[in-house]
Amino acid sequence: MIGSPVRARGLRIAVVAALLVTAVPIGAVAPAGGIGTPGSDGIGDSYFPLAGNGGYDVGHYHLEIRYGPATDELVGRTTITATATQDLSRFNLDLIGLRVTSITAGGEPATWSRQGQELSVRPASPIADGAGFEVVVRYRGIPRSPLSYGARAGAIPTDDGVLIYGEPDVAAYWYPSNDHPRDKATFEIDLTVPRGLKAVSNGRLTGREPTGNGRVTWSWHENDLMATYLAMAVIGRFQLERSVTSDGIRVLDAFDPRVGRNARRSIGKGERVLRFLEGRFGPYPFDDLGGVVDIWSGGFALENQTRPIYPPGAFRRGQNVPLVVHELAHQWFGNSVSLDDWSHIWLNEGFATYAEWLWSGKTGHRTPQGLLSAWCEIPADRPFWTVTPDDPGVGRLFATPVYVRSAMTLQALRTTVGNADFFEIVETWLAEHADSTATTDRFIALSETVSGQELSGFFDEWLSTSGKPSPCVTGTT
């Protein structure tokens, strides 16, 4: 354990608050004689070149969303508080499909143009490097729900509302953003829906207020930094179940009334799972916890920050606590410590899968070493071994080997460096990169520093080489 959960969370909130208080003045313009330059139309991701944008850093999003289930129309106003990282003549936001009706930047009307996912904004005056500024975008339309890696993502209509979630680029389908994990921010999400429906999002429910015309606004705050794709909204006739864990973490679960007891019991074990994970990874990184199960066709589980979403089909055959373990492990690996580039997806999925393996051993099933041995039985000529976890390619971002071969790598690393060094690596990794992003190279460097071993050959064989690693042997030791 790294300190107490309460102290760790309190320190993090204090640091974020201090950063916000010391921000430079809003709306400063570029120095006389300088006209600034445009921010780049991508943040530099190797897989998704247009994801995110350059020239500024977002500190906070305030989403005000009105949704009408009868028409599926979304009417939005998003306020973005940011800081320029260069003298900025114009900048881009990511937004797909929805019609923009107005934009202000620094309190003045701005002009804009659109091409693909890029919403290019030109403020009335250039913004000086280091200056804070505020952008307000009003927009409306029916948000899309495209196929993403074989499943629907984006805004998915249900029979009583909508489910908005996905990975890696869902944010651009329902709010303008700097849509990449490198630019995390805090969030305030206000969802206005017809009376009788409930609206659920990330973090803490801070208010539920009638707004007239038969509508109610549900207000949610996520005060810890969050990647844009992890923001979600779920609207429907939910049953909300609240509790508080023994160490003060607020729990709010949301279930469609038709959801069966297998899902409820699985997600209800969240505190037990949390205690287990804290024993391996250190304090839970957030103040809120929960889960959502809606009724819709298809879908996938996703680790939305503080409140993962689970598909109802995951519980048809009985309880599925390992899935809860996987999504809650992502709160550390993926949410607190996020990937710096989508090619590093193994750092998210490998650790979440390995958490399942640890749970398996703890609950009297196969040990992590036994699971490694079982997967090593796959013949060397099978396609499983052709996917390299540290660079799987865009089309195989969520392929099975990204999950399993990555977990195999972690168990092989544990065997190589020993239990004490392995868990010191894990806890140090999480402490050093909390609320930030990280890369494979940094993980390798940390592993070498803690263990005192040269491990480049090990990681090359397990993560980077197409083919079955030669040390991949069976056994249960």
Would residue 477 count as lying in a domain?
no
CB 112 within 8 A of CB 80: no
CA distance 180 to 340: 9
pLDDT exceeds 60 at position 251: yes
Neighbours of 184 (CB within 10 A): 24
Q: What does the block give as tokens for 174?
A: 């329902």
272 in a structural domain: no
Q: Which helix (H) or strand (E) holds 251?
A: strand 250-255
Classify residue 256: in a domain, yes or no.
Answer: no
Residue 317 in domain: no
Q: Residue 173 burial (CB < 10 Å; 0-12/13-18/19+)?
A: buried
- Give 213-226 pLDDT, tens digit per residue: 999 999 999 999 99
In-domain check, residue 67: yes
We report the CATH number of the domain holding residue 350 as 1.10.390.10
Q: Which of 116-125, 144-153, 236-245 has the lowest mean pLDDT?
A: 144-153
300 is a domain residue: no
For the cut 70, the answer to whether the pLDDT of residue 21 exceeds it is no
32, 201, 242, 270 from 288: Cα distances, Å: 47, 11, 11, 11
Q: In the numeric block, which tokens belong to residue 385? A: 């071994």
Q: Give the predicted TM-score (pTM) of the model.
A: 0.92
pLDDT tens, residue by residue, 29-87: 455 445 899 999 999 999 999 999 999 999 999 999 999 999 999 999 999 999 999 99
Please enumerate in sequence order all residues whose Cβ is within 8 A of that of 11, keeping only pairs 6 or more positions apart, or say none: none
> DSSP letters along 142-177, please?
-----EETTEE-EEEEETTEEEEE-SSS-GGGTS-B
Q: Quick check: 55 and 40 in contact, CB under 8 A? A: yes
Structure confidence at residue 22 (pLDDT): 36
Residue 23's pLDDT is 39
Whether 313 is in a domain gets the answer no
Per-residue pLDDT tens digits for 423-467 = 999 999 999 999 999 999 999 999 999 999 999 999 999 999 999
Q: Could you give the count of Cα atoms lying within 13 Å of 388 in the half-sphere of its Cβ?
A: 14
- Domain enclosing residue 18, as ranges: 1-151+168-184+201-207+220-227
> Could you tell me the CATH number of the domain that includes residue 124?
2.60.40.1730
Block residue for tokens 């890369």: 439
Query: What's the token pair of residue 107?
Result: 């309190």
Domains identified in the chain, total number: 2
Residue of higher predicted confidence among 274 and 8: 274
Whether 276 maps to a domain, the answer reads no
**Model pLDDT, residue 473:** 60
